[in-house]
Amino acid sequence: MSSIFMNSDEKNAWADFFEFVATLYLNEPDEERIAGCKEVGHKFKKIFPGELFAKMLTLVERDSSEDITQEFYDLFFVPISGKYLPPFELAQRQIPMRTDLCASVKNFYISAGFNPELLDIPSYIKMINRPDYIGFEMAFLGLILRSSAELDLNGDEEQASALLQTACSFYSQHLGMWVSNFGKQLTERAECYMYKALGHLTIYVGHSMSEILSKDSVKSIC
């Protein structure tokens, strides 16, 4: 994989984006979070004109909070719901459980000092005990890019570059192998605007990161 360059502002902007998407996978949608998504949607409409996820986020309050919450569980936690979409890399890539894929994901986390159990998320999600959960993989990339940006500002360019390459390697070997297809499936199964928007956000991550890695250029979201 070739090297890419991002300045600290670009890293922080992408960290914000990954963290926002991760938050939607890692938390049930209470009324405060739903209202926050609507506000973010209006901001995104200015930054991402024409993107479906921006428009859909502004419409999230058209669905009841009860319906949105039920869909969160049906999509990601209840296999018999009829909507369930396994949010795990292993399942989406159709790799046998005996593989060392989860060990590889966990090794990336350990080497960067990322522990999903320390995230400010509900305890039942912490107890998933699967490093390949999509929310954890998104949160990891957000953390890595944020840390790299901080090292830039501290003048440690070598370590900042090393962390950026770690993020690129992790994306290429793991999240990038399944994120776009997962997002597409989510847009097809979701009925509420919240999770249709999340599907399109997830697709955007996949397409944009693949473009960055293939062209050695950074698509600005600043």
What is the residue extent of each domain of the chain? 8-215
Q: Give the tens place of pLDDT for each residue, 149-168.
A: 999 999 999 999 999 999 99
Task: Give me the helices (H) in 27-156, please.
Answer: 31-47, 52-58, 65-76, 89-92, 101-112, 123-126, 134-153
Cα–Cα distance, 83 to 74 (Å, whole number): 6
Residue type present at position 195: Y
Domain 8-215 listed as CATH 1.10.3480.10? yes
Q: Give the tens place of pLDDT for each residue, 51-103.
A: 999 999 999 999 999 999 999 999 999 999 999 999 999 999 988 766 799 99
- Say whether pTM exceeds 0.75: yes
